[in-house]
A = this chain, B = another copy of it.
Amino acid sequence: MDIRSSFEALDNKLTSCGGLNGGGITRLLYSEAWSNAIHTLKSTLENEGFEARFDSVGNLKGRIEGSKYPDETIMSGSHIDTVVEGGHLDGQFGVLAALVAMQSLKAEHGQPLRSLELLALAEEEGSRFPYAFWGSKNFFNLANKADVSSIADGEGVNFEDAMHEAGFDYRTVDNDFSYIKSFVEVHIEQGKVLESEQKAIGIVNGIVGQKRYTVNLKGEANHAGTTPMGLRKDAVVAFSKIANELTDQARAFGDPLVITFGRVDPVPNTVNVVPGEVTFSIDCRHINQVELNQFAEKIDACIKRVSEEEAVEYDIDLWMDEAPTLMDEQLVSEVKKAAEHVVGSSDCKVMPSGAGHDSQIFAKYIPTAMIFVPSINGVSHNVEEETDIEDLVKGIEVLKQVLYQLAYKE
């Protein structure tokens, strides 16, 4: 079978579930588009000889039983939901890459020694309801009724009602995941590191830790004309000094540290008033916990020193503090070998993921690895999201080689 044409046919079929006129997909958890997608996928799996079944919340598994070690299962997949007006690759590509790779292995090599399982996770994005990783957190018995029973979507539909409407319900017994030996997720990079370095395959060694802050600076609102520079307590000036200094420090600290001041809300936000207050966000990420903590100390110190210099009061709220998640070393090394075998070592890059993925949940329980393919201009969460078809095919071929090593070799 031809990997490219198989993938393109499946991608067209699944993209039609929630597909938008101008390209891209809106496929929110438990929506009609979502139901169409998972039921289309289930019948496709059944037609292709997989044993397909849902868990209680709607995670879909498709299994090819192993001949010799059926209890050792090699799993691959990703999530089936999208953001509002998302692309056709974020999540969906990981599901279809697993399907095409497993089909192709079966066509070429017959039944594997170990079992192969495709996984289409119900939800990862947190785009319909204010809850992310519903799929993978249920997979590992981490999500509970209490987490979602009181939440609703933007139109006021309760989580529970939407779930029941789609034919699913809370799990009543814990899932067993002990039979899974390895999990490999293929995903688009959603950044432009691979593109800018002209690499075809990223071998993900971990998912960055991240700290998110809301910082409030309080100075004094004053008339912009009658208040000399020396009598001001200008919160925006203090912000600009903090953002400027921390950006310089982050650049000097070096990759893969990133820092972002994405949100800036001055008060009163008017041309002729010295801004007496500003609230801004900091998002800081690094793959190494020690270095992330080191930089967090610089953030604290900078805010405190500049606030003192500029005579403003500060409040620092660190509301997200997620540790980095390292991928399984041995599995990463298997993936690297496979990638080098398929595309050559000069076309591969071992790299951290700057974005969160289902794999960060899996890695805590199961040896896990990820394969990245490039994103054109780094665009994602947008209908313009795209990857060259040659790069998509390479990603599938690398996964196929990994699954071959893991499931077909002694």
Contact of A191 among B227, B240, B256 (CB under 8 A): B227
Chain B residues with Cβ below 8 Å from A355 are 223, 225-226
Q: Which residue in chain B gives the minimum CB-CB distance to A259? A: B229
Beta-carbon contact of A240 and B231 below 8 Å: no
Beta-carbon contact of B271 and A225 below 8 Å: no
Beta-carbon contact of B264 and A264 below 8 Å: yes
Q: Which residue in chain B gives the minimum CB-CB distance to A190? A: B226
Minimal beta-carbon separation of A284 from chain B (angstroms): 9
Cβ-based interface call for A239 (8 A): yes
Q: How far is the CA of A337 from the CA of B260 in the complex (A)?
A: 57
Contact of A226 among B230, B240, B261, B378 (CB under 8 A): B378
Q: Which residue in chain B gives the minimum CB-CB distance to A254? A: B229
Q: How far is the CA of A224 from the CA of B212 in the complex (A)?
A: 11
Chain B residues with Cβ below 8 Å from A189 are 226
Q: How far is the CA of A243 from the CA of B256 in the complex (A)?
A: 27
Most buried by B among A190, A210, A257, A260: A260
With contact pairs A237-B247, A262-B236 given, residues A256 and B228 touching in the complex (Cβ less than 8 Å) = yes
Q: How far is the CA of A216 from the CA of B354 in the complex (A)?
A: 29
Copies of the chain in the assembly:
2
Q: Identify which of A16-24, A111-119, A166-174, A273-281 touches chain B.
A: A273-281
For A58-97 the 0/1 string (1 means CB < 8 A from B) is 0000000000000000000000000000000000000000
With contact pairs A193-B226, A225-B355, A237-B247 given, residues A273 and B269 touching in the complex (Cβ less than 8 Å) = no
Cβ-based interface call for A258 (8 A): yes
Chain B residues with Cβ below 8 Å from A200 are none
For A234-261 the 0/1 string (1 means CB < 8 A from B) is 1011011111100100110001111111
Mostly helix, strand, loop or mixed at chain A's interface?
A: mixed
**Interface residues in A4-54 (C-beta closer than 8 Å to B):** none
Cβ-based interface call for A153 (8 A): no
Contact of A260 among B196, B241, B272, B380 (CB under 8 A): B272
Beta-carbon contact of A193 and B228 below 8 Å: yes
With contact pairs A222-B378, A378-B226 given, residues A274 and B250 touching in the complex (Cβ less than 8 Å) = no
Q: Which residue in chain B gives the minimum CB-CB distance to A269? A: B263
Minimal beta-carbon separation of A322 from chain B (angstroms): 11
Q: How far is the CA of A250 from the CA of B259 in the complex (A)?
A: 28
6 A-B pairs within 8 Å (CB atoms) are namely: A196-B231, A223-B380, A225-B354, A229-B251, A263-B270, A271-B281
Q: Nearest 6 CB-CB pairs, A to B? A: A191-B226, A225-B354, A240-B243, A226-B354, A224-B260, A271-B281
